Structures are given as C-alpha cells and as structure tokens.
Amino acid sequence: MIRKLTERDHEQVLAFLSEEPSINLFIIGDIEAFGYSSEFQELWCDFDEQDAIKAVLLRYHQSFIPYAKGEFDLNGFVSIMKQFNQPILLSGKSDIVEKFEVSGELQLGLKQVTYFAECRSDENLGTNEAEIKQATLEDVDRIIELRQTIEEFHIRSDARAMLQQAMETKTGRTYYTEDQDVMTACVSTTAENSISAMIVGVCTHKEYRRQGLATAIMQKLFKVVLDEGKTLCLFYDNPEAGRIYKRLGFKDIGKWTMYR
C-alpha cells in the first residue's frame, strides 16, 4: 500500500533511510530541511501488510528519488510520477532507478551513471597555505559563472535559485579561491543534513588549472565537514578525478544513476 507521508511517520522513515545514510543523504537532508508539507516537496512510502516500509519516493520540485531494499510497488510509484511534467528528472541508487527505465511508462531524460563514494576520516587530508574563503550569498553569481565555463557541467535553469536556497537553509556551502577578484576555483556541498554532506561543483577556472587549487579547497572543506561528525559523499565518472578523491580518503560504495 502506498500513501503520502506526514510528520507522524518521521521516526519510522528516518530509521528506514538511516540504514544506508550516504545513499539516502538527499532524502534525509530534504526531510530535515523542508519536512513533509512543503509546496515543492512530497514523500510517499510503500508499506507491507504489517505496516513496515518497503520503499520511499521523494519529490523535490521536479526531481524524484526512490529508495527501496527489495521488491516494491513500481507501478504505484510510476503512477504518481506520471502526474508531473515530462521528461521526469530521476536519480538514485542504480539498481533501483533503472527499474523505472525498464517499466517503459515514463519519459526520462538523458541517462548518466556515476560512481558513488564516501569518506569518513580526515587521516588522508594534507595541509596547505592557500587562502581559501567561504562563499556568501553575494558570491552566488560568481559561482554560477565559473561553473558555466566547465564543459562537463550541465547547469540547470534553476541552478542559481537552488544554490541560494542551499546557502539560506544551511543545506549547502561553498569554499573558493580567488586572484584579483577572479574566482579561480570552488567546491561546494549540497544536501547537507545532520549526518552527511554531498560534495558537488568541484571546478577550476581554465587559466588556473594544474595549480592544485581545487584539491586545496577540498582539503579545507572536507576537514571542516568531517570535524562536524558528518560523512562526506560524492559522485564521479572521471577516472582521474576518482584517483584524486581516493587519495583524499574516499571509497566506492556503489553506483548512482541520473536521468536529466
């Protein structure tokens, strides 16, 4: 049985999601930040006959993230998602979300499969003397402008609003370096919650690459977040980037599929 969740379900839902806290950091973070009655966020659960949770589906604006530990009512979740604009923006643990692709009922965006990695210790982090600053709301436009110069990045039309919202709700932060008022590199977190944070937006201005700026920022940011007792997570599909992350203490824990 699928039903929409309310605040009364919070403890049961969080216990279910917390068994894989890194994989579920987006869902956990959005619940902690925006709850169950926001205009732009909804959650549904598939329950078994004993009222135990089998699966969760999150809608955050036009994006959906499902999570399950076994079989669940795929057709029921698909029926919910079909009520919203197509193509569907869908992401999640690969073996779960790819079931929605197989169903053939949804118009999905371009598929991207990445590695999912996490870091729980700062023992591999070095130190550096680079001047690294934490971004404020006044820096949002500069961050977006730098990201737009990166060919591999796909910048959504609502990227600025999402970045601003993350800063305002403290579900994300950005650290950066600059040279004569030019933002030379930056690294961000997103979906921050009480137990984990996702690393995103690792980028360096083309004219300042091969200087170790992004690595220096990551070392600073990683230490700050880890010292708060949180686990760090990130996606990567570039083997070179993967080697850098692993030197900083990340380990692969699975694959993540996105349809954009």
Structural domain including 104 reads 2-109
CATH code of the domain in which 241 resides? 3.40.630.30
Domain final residue, candidates 42, 77, 109: 109
- Least trusted range by pLDDT, from 11-25, 45-59, 116-130: 116-130
Res 62: pLDDT: 86
Dump strand ranges (E) for the chain: 2-4, 41-47, 53-60, 63-68, 89-93, 111-119, 133-134, 174-179, 182-190, 196-204, 231-236, 251-259
Q: Are residue 125 and residue 101 in the same domain, yes or no?
A: no
- Do both 252 and 126 map to the same domain? yes
pLDDT in tens, 207-232: 999 999 999 999 999 999 999 999 99
Same domain, 255 and 126: yes
For residues 100 and 123, membership in a common domain is answered with no
**Same-domain status, 43 and 98:** yes
Task: Kindly state the average pLDDT of the residues 100-118.
Answer: 91
Pair (247, 129) in one structural domain: yes
- How much is the pLDDT for 102? 87
| Domain termination residue (choose one: 74, 109, 144) | 109
Range with the poorest average pLDDT among 31-40, 63-72, 180-189: 31-40
The sign of the torsion formed by the CA atoms of 26, 27, 33, 38 equals: positive
**pLDDT surpasses 80 at 154:** no
| Average pLDDT for 160-169 | 92
Q: How confident is the model at residue 204 (pLDDT cuts 50, 70, 90)?
A: very high
Average pLDDT value for residue range 32-46? 92
In which band, very low, low, confident or very high, does the pLDDT at 124 lie, cut at 50, 70 and 90? confident
The reply to whether 223 and 181 lie within a common domain is yes
* 196 and 129 in a common domain: yes
How many domains, in total, are found in the chain? 2
87 band by pLDDT with thresholds 50, 70 and 90: confident
Q: What is the mean pLDDT of the chain?
A: 92
Q: Which residue has the tokens 């998602």?
A: 81
Domain boundary among 109, 132, 149: 109
Kindly state whether residues 207 and 170 are assigned to the same domain: yes
126 with 242, same domain: the answer is yes
Sequence-separated contacts (24+) of 11-16 with Cβ below 8 Å: 12/53, 13/43, 13/45, 13/53, 13/56, 16/53, 16/56
> Rounded CA gap, 211 and 59, in Å?
40
Instruction: Assess whether 66 and 17 both reside in one domain.
Output: yes
Whether the Cβ atoms of residue 160 and residue 141 lie closer than 8 Å to each other: yes
Statement to judge: residues 127 and 87 lie in one domain: no
Region 20-40: mean pLDDT is 90
